[in-house]
Amino acid sequence: MKLITRDTDYAIRALCFIARRQKGLTSVSELVSVLGIPRPFLRKLLQTLNKKRLVKSYKGKGGGFRMARLPRKIIIADLMRIFQGPLKISEHVFKNSPCPERKVCKFKQKLDVIERYVVGELKRINLESIL
Amino acid sequence: MKLITRDTDYAIRALCFIARRQKGLTSVSELVSVLGIPRPFLRKLLQTLNKKRLVKSYKGKGGGFRMARLPRKIIIADLMRIFQGPLKISEHVFKNSPCPERKVCKFKQKLDVIERYVVGELKRINLESIL
DNA sequence: ATATAATGATACCATATTAGTATCATTTGT
DNA sequence: ACAAATGATACTAATATGGTATCATTATAT
């Protein structure tokens, strides 16, 4: 029952570190030494975050990353979507092996209620709130 | 973000079918033809359910399965535990790559709140309520 | 007794997802 | 020019999930 995958988790920690540094850049090397996350994996994550405009990257000597927006504007649900795809709890089951009574399936209805709550909560968590 | 795996889902459908049959046994063959679930997979599921005393099995010609308790006493959370292990949403992340500030990690705290709700709700869903 | 139709036990295989690596290109400061 | 950084991208490894195969055991009907 995995809500958060490793890359999302790593991304959150990296962002926390970068965000705490009020000004200046943070390099991958620094993050690796502090967070102990495998370097190539971290690089990939940060490149993704850069493409998605959550951080801004600077190439070349002395380069690195800085936040591209306020921590308050970085929502956990968005990070999860980036690294894990759509925020759906129940879809896959009903996608691959559709319940014959899909439309009225009471179990699905109950899962949907849970899903709405979970997604709602995840949208309420921003980086600032966990710094 | 997968809450329910295929075997849990299959198990629920099989149990629903068996439960609707007030008396008498249901064989795997019958379930296969009705539910369209791969036979060997279904058998494995039912053997597990038997071991866990959710159904009672009868061997030999004319054999099959029947409920071992009232549908109301079959809790979805229990089924999930049987097929998917402990109901933990956030554990794995913090298990494999422990956050240095694990104890006070605000993110984990927020996930824990979500987890408590989800698990609480899952414990409230029983088979009768989705029949 | 025996054949048949059922489940029990268990080991195995396939596929998908997740996690991690490797490599080369590009940019920038000194 | 060189070194130190990121960009792009393809590849590999590990794990979890989904599914098969096989043989043993049991019960019923004839």
Cα–Cα dist A127/A11, whole Å: 11
Query: Cα–Cα distances in Å, from A94 out to A74, A119, B16, B84, B120?
Result: 31, 18, 16, 17, 23
Cα–Cα dist B72/B82, whole Å: 17
Please answer whether residues B31 and B40 qualify as being in contact, where contact means their C-beta atoms are separated by less than 8 angstroms: no
CATH number at residue A108: 1.10.10.10
Residue A97 above 80 pLDDT?
Answer: no
Contact with chain B for residue A128, Cβ under 8 A: no
Q: Which helix (H) or strand (E) holds A120?
A: helix A106-124
Q: Is residue B123 part of a domain?
A: yes
Query: Which structural domain range is residue A37 located in?
Result: 6-130
Contact with chain A for residue B87, Cβ under 8 A: yes
Please answer whether residues B37 and B14 qualify as being in contact, where contact means their C-beta atoms are separated by less than 8 angstroms: yes
Q: Is residue A11 part of a domain?
A: yes
State which residue has its Cα closest to the C1' atom of C22.
Answer: A40
As for how many domains chain B has, the answer is 1
pLDDT in tens, B47-82: 999 999 999 999 999 999 999 999 999 999 999 999
Q: What is the pTM of this model?
A: 0.92
Contact with chain A for residue B93, Cβ under 8 A: yes
**What is the percentage of chain B residues whose pLDDT exceeds 90?**
81
Contact with chain A for residue B11, Cβ under 8 A: no
| Chain A residue with Cα closest to B116 | A118
**What is the percentage of chain A residues whose pLDDT exceeds 70?**
91
Please answer whether residues A91 and A84 qualify as being in contact, where contact means their C-beta atoms are separated by less than 8 angstroms: no
Q: Is residue A1 part of a domain?
A: no
Residue with tokens 């295929």: B6
Cα–Cα dist A47/A53, whole Å: 10
Backbone phi, psi, residue A105, to 5°: -60, 115
Chain D positions within 7 A of any protein Cβ atom are 3-10, 17-22, 25-29
Strand C contacts (CB < 7 A) among B residues 32-51? 43-44, 46-47, 50-51
Q: Is residue B1 part of a domain?
A: no
pLDDT in tens, A53-81: 999 999 999 999 999 999 999 999 999 99
Beta-strand pair B64-67/B55-58: antiparallel
Strand C contacts (CB < 7 A) among A residues 2-31? 2, 5-7, 10
